[in-house]
Amino acid sequence: MSYSNAATWISVRRAVFRSTRSRIPDGIGTVTGPLHEDEFPIDVGLVRALVDRALPGCAALPLSPLRSGGSSNALFRLGRELLVRLPRQPGGSATIEKEARWLPLIGPRLPASVPEIVALGDPDLGYPERWSVVRWIEGSVPTVVDPRSDLDVSRRSLALDLAAVITALRDIDVPASALTDPELRWYRGDPLGAQDDRTRQAIADCRTITDLDLDLDMASRVWDGAMTLPGIAHASIPQWFHGDLLAENLLVSEGRLAAVLDFGGLAVGDPTVDLIVGWEVLDDASRQVFRHATGVDEQSWLAGRAWALALALMTFPYYWRTMPDRCASRVAIARSVLADAATT
């Protein structure tokens, strides 16, 4: 497909997105439309044709979409052992290629399974991005801990497992080629202070969501406090970080961490953002185990808490109508942060 034809395809999809979104009922209900205005139309027919042409040995395997597809990639189960991942938006090839390049270095050094890339597909049949096939990993997404729920959980083992992943990432040497790779630079590895304007705008935008049950005045005060932390405007020594270490990118089995998924956000920079997982899947007691096991200082811990709040707030204006499960998780994160801040 030529670039101009791709642009035409996307413009048509934008019209579909707008008309579909207007029919979504109030509240964070069922997903009924695409997630992005520039999203590619990806369905079973397209993926079936791409797989059959690129991997004829897989042509006989059944193919079905996963309900839990992420915001960056559409996911399709291929047989019992494989998963097909296709970028939803223009430019998604970069993250597919980044995973293919760096996961062989990063993955073996982590104390949890990571996606094994079986094949890379090239643009074809009008679909303009590269895509990947990875090995299926068994496990379940961990339940999010909302401080308002009466969920009785003890996640000490999970806390230790998550801390082990973070410290292992942090300890992997960053080669010179990674330091100069623009695909390994992301805003989530920038100093926390660089997120001030974006976070304050997110708070303002959240005030227009009438059914968002969250104390935004308290959120604003917590963010104000975070902006007084020393060193938040200064870059740290670049280290590896996952960048999206959240429940939707984790698999657990029998209370232990089984796998870390989706390394499309893998980058080098300040790794503090990876602490956000502590306010999503851990109860108060387990969070303290996690904090101790990561070995971070007070400033980094509070910066991680502020990152958790900021990313939660940034989610709502964009995904409130289209990704109810994600928004529910982010509401829980924000509540955990506010409850934590109220006691410290």
CA dihedral 224, 225, 226, 227 (to 10 degrees): 50
Please say if the pLDDT value at position 169 is more than 90. Answer: yes
The C-alpha atoms of residue 316 and residue 305 are separated, in whole angstroms, by: 18
Q: Is residue 264 part of a domain?
A: yes
pLDDT computed for residue 150 by the predictor: 67
> What share of the chain has pLDDT > 90, as a percent?
83
Q: Strand pairing partners for 83?
A: 77, 134
The C-alpha atoms of residue 76 and residue 68 are separated, in whole angstroms, by: 10
Do 163 and 68 lie in a common domain? no
| pLDDT digit string, tens, across residues 172-198 | 999 999 999 999 999 999 999 999 999
Q: Is residue 147 part of a domain?
A: no
Number of domains in the chain: 2
Do 163 and 126 lie in a common domain? no
Do 177 and 70 lie in a common domain? no
Q: Is residue 170 part of a domain?
A: yes
Q: How sure is the predictor about 344, in pLDDT bands with cuts at 50, 70 and 90?
A: confident
Please say if the pLDDT value at position 15 is more than 60. Answer: no
Chosen domain end from 135, 167, 198: 135
Q: How sure is the predictor about 101, in pLDDT bands with cuts at 50, 70 and 90?
A: very high
As a whole number, mean pLDDT of residues 261-267 equals: 97
Q: Is residue 275 part of a domain?
A: yes
Q: How sure is the predictor about 70, in pLDDT bands with cuts at 50, 70 and 90?
A: confident
The conformation of residue 111, written as its DSSP 8-state character, comes to: S
Q: How sure is the predictor about 5, in pLDDT bands with cuts at 50, 70 and 90?
A: very low
153 with 117: CB under 8 angstroms?
A: no
Do 167 and 314 lie in a common domain? yes
Do 329 and 190 lie in a common domain? yes
- For tokens 């642009």, the residue is 7
Do 187 and 293 lie in a common domain? yes
Q: Is residue 322 part of a domain?
A: yes
pLDDT computed for residue 227 by the predictor: 98
pLDDT computed for residue 36 by the predictor: 87
Please say if the pLDDT value at position 327 is more than 50. Answer: yes
Do 188 and 322 lie in a common domain? yes
As a whole number, mean pLDDT of residues 309-332 equals: 95
Q: How sure is the predictor about 152, in pLDDT bands with cuts at 50, 70 and 90?
A: low
Do 81 and 189 lie in a common domain? no
| pLDDT digit string, tens, across residues 33-60 | 688 889 999 999 999 999 999 999 999 9
Do 56 and 172 lie in a common domain? no
* Cα-to-chain-centroid distance, residue 100: 18
Please say if the pLDDT value at position 1 is more than 80. Answer: no
Do 82 and 209 lie in a common domain? no
pLDDT computed for residue 272 by the predictor: 97
83 CB burial (10 A radius; 0-12, 13-18, 19+): buried
| pLDDT digit string, tens, across residues 188-239 | 999 999 999 999 999 999 999 999 999 999 999 999 999 999 989 888 899 9
The C-alpha atoms of residue 287 and residue 293 are separated, in whole angstroms, by: 10
The overall pTM is greater than 0.85 = yes
Q: Is residue 330 part of a domain?
A: yes
Chosen domain end from 86, 104, 135: 135
Chosen domain end from 101, 135, 169: 135
Do 258 and 194 lie in a common domain? yes
As a whole number, mean pLDDT of residues 255-265 equals: 96
> What share of the chain has pLDDT > 70, as a percent?
89
Closest residue by Cα to residue 213 from 281, 141, 147, 143: 147
Q: What CATH number does residue 73 fall under?
A: 3.30.200.20
- Full domain range(s) for residue 273: 156-342
Closest residue by Cα to residue 265 from 144, 98, 100, 61: 98
Q: Is residue 51 part of a domain?
A: yes
pLDDT computed for residue 34 by the predictor: 80
Q: Is residue 141 part of a domain?
A: no
Give DSSP secondary structure letters for 2-68.
-HHHHHHHHHHHHHHHHHHHTTSPSSS----S-SSTT-----HHHHHHHHHHH-GGGTTS-EEE-TT
**Mean of the per-residue pLDDT values of the chain:** 89
- Give φ, ψ of 268 to 5 degrees: -120, 140
Q: What CATH number does residue 214 fall under?
A: 3.90.1200.10
- Which of residues 230 and 153 earns the better pLDDT score? 230
Do 103 and 184 lie in a common domain? no
Q: Strand pairing partners for 241?
A: 267
